[in-house]
Chain A
Amino acid sequence: DGGITQSPKYLFRKEGQNVTLSCEQNLNHDAMYWYRQDPGQGLRLIYYSQIVNDFQKGDIAEGYSVSREKKESFPLTVTSAQKNPTAFYLCASSTGQGNYNEQFFGPGTRLTVL
């Protein structure tokens, strides 16, 4: 089951620490996305990147940072400035072009702040 991988599956962090979530894809997709999934709030876009070396803020970017140095990789750093980081994080990728722009999702990382 390749495509998009996220690691780790579970992550625990102490308050005040930064933590980086990994997202890798082998679909040769140009666009990649990070979402946060909370009960009752659906998926909210944190950051997205439509091409290597470029990314844009989503709806809830505060307290997060990303980089896109390689086409295959789009790591997300949850910084200590994020007030409520405990959540389920989903990464996705797509071709980024045309009308048939299906997003493919990874299995997710559950982050818990202790």
Chain B
Amino acid sequence: AQRVTQPEKLLSVFKGAPVELKCNYSYSGSPELFWYVQYSRQRLQLLLRHISRESIKGFTADLNKGETSFHLKKPFAQEEDSAMYYCALKAGTASKLTFGTGTRLQVTL
């Protein structure tokens, strides 16, 4: 069975500092990885997906199959980045996702 691990429950950084939210997965096949974000008082929403290789709100994530990781990075944190971040994996043809336990990012002045 597939599994997603986010080792940090809370990550606190200063504004302007680099951010890296860790995500590791276990799955025997070829996975699709996603990052979802939940801002305060807002719905959970998709931030980015590995297959698109895009940068959203300055965030990027690269799928490293050798290390089975999909870490989320941003070079300079902003206050509005404070939120709950979830890494998720889609395995095979089924549409369901397996989520990690989430990391709360706190950006302080």
Contacts and interface: CB of A to CB of B under 8 A. Distances in A.
B11 interface: no
Given A40-B9, A100-B49, A100-B51, A45 B43 contact: no
B96 A105 contact: no
Interface residues of B, number: 22
B95 A94 contact: yes
B39 to A, nearest CB: 12
A59 to B, nearest CB: 8
A101 B98 contact: no
Given A40-B9, A99-B51, A45 B98 contact: yes
B57 to A, nearest CB: 16
A25 interface: no
A111 interface: no
B90 interface: yes
A69 interface: no
B97 interface: yes
Given A40-B9, A90-B44, A103 B94 contact: no
Q: Chain B binding site: helix, strand, loop or mixed by DSSP?
A: mixed
Contacts of B36: 103
B99 A42 contact: yes
Interface string A28-48: 000101010000111111001
Contact of A50 (B43, B52, B95, B98): B95
Nearest to B32: A99
A107 B43 contact: yes
Contacts of A102: 46, 49
Nearest to B9: A40
Contacts of A42: 6, 86, 99-102
20 contacts: A31-B95, A33-B96, A33-B97, A35-B99, A42-B6, A42-B100, A42-B101, A43-B102, A45-B96, A45-B97, A45-B98, A90-B44, A99-B32, A99-B51, A100-B51, A101-B90, A102-B46, A103-B36, A105-B45, A108-B43
Interface of B: 6, 9, 32, 36, 43-46, 49, 51-52, 86, 90, 94-102
